[in-house]
Amino acid sequence: MVNPVWLKTFCTLVDVGTFTKAADKCYMTQSGVSQHVRKLEDSLSSTLVIRGKKGVVLTEAGQQLYRQGKDVLQTLDNLAVTISRDPGYEGEVRIMSPGSVGLRLYTRLLDLQVTYPALTINYRFAPNGDVHKAILNNTIDIGLTTACPVDPNIQSEPIGEEPLLLVTPRHIKDLHGKHSANLDSLITQMLGITQSYYLGRTSSNIKRRSYAPLSNLVFLTK
Q: What is the pLDDT of residue 82?
A: 73
Span 166-188, average pLDDT: 58
**E-strand stretches of the chain:** 49-52, 55-58, 91-97, 119-125, 142-145, 155-163, 214-221
Strands 142-145 and 91-97, sheet pairing = parallel
pLDDT at position 146 over 70: yes
Q: What is the DSSP letter of 144?
A: E
Q: Are strands 214-221 and 49-52 parallel, antiparallel or unpaired?
A: unpaired
- In this structure, are residues 188 and 198 in contact, taking their beta carbons and an 8 Å threshold? yes
- Fold match flag (4-84 vs 91-161+214-221): no
pTM: 0.45
Q: Who wins on pLDDT, 203 or 218?
A: 218
Nearest to 50 by CA among 35, 60, 39, 42: 60
Mean pLDDT of 191-219: 39
Higher pLDDT, 109 or 206: 109
What are the two backbone dihedrals, phi and then psi, of residue 168, each rounded to the nearest 5 degrees?
-130, 165
Q: Which CATH class is domain 4-84?
A: mainly alpha
Q: Which residues pair with 182 in a beta bridge?
A: none
- Which residue did the predictor score with more confidence, 162 or 180? 162
pLDDT at 105: 86
Averaged pLDDT for residues 75-87: 77
Could you name the CATH architecture of 91-161+214-221?
A: 3-Layer(aba) Sandwich (3.40)
Taking a C-beta distance cutoff of 8 angstroms, is the pair 62, 11 a contact?
A: no
Cα 141 to Cα 40, 85, 96: the distances in Å are 43, 18, 8
Coil, strand or helix at 4? helix
Residue type, 39: K
Give the Å distances, CA to CA, from 41 to 3, 44, 45, 49, 58: 11, 5, 6, 9, 12
The dihedrals phi and psi of 163, each to the nearest 5 degrees, come to -70, 145
Model pLDDT, residue 219: 54
| Listed range (54-68, 134-148, 208-222) with the worst mean pLDDT | 208-222
Every domain of the chain and the residues it spans: 4-84, 91-161+214-221
pLDDT tens digit sequence for 18-52: 898 999 999 999 999 999 999 999 999 999 999 87
The sign one gets for the Cα dihedral 72, 76, 118, 97 is positive
- pLDDT for position 34: 92
Three-state DSSP class for residue 159: strand
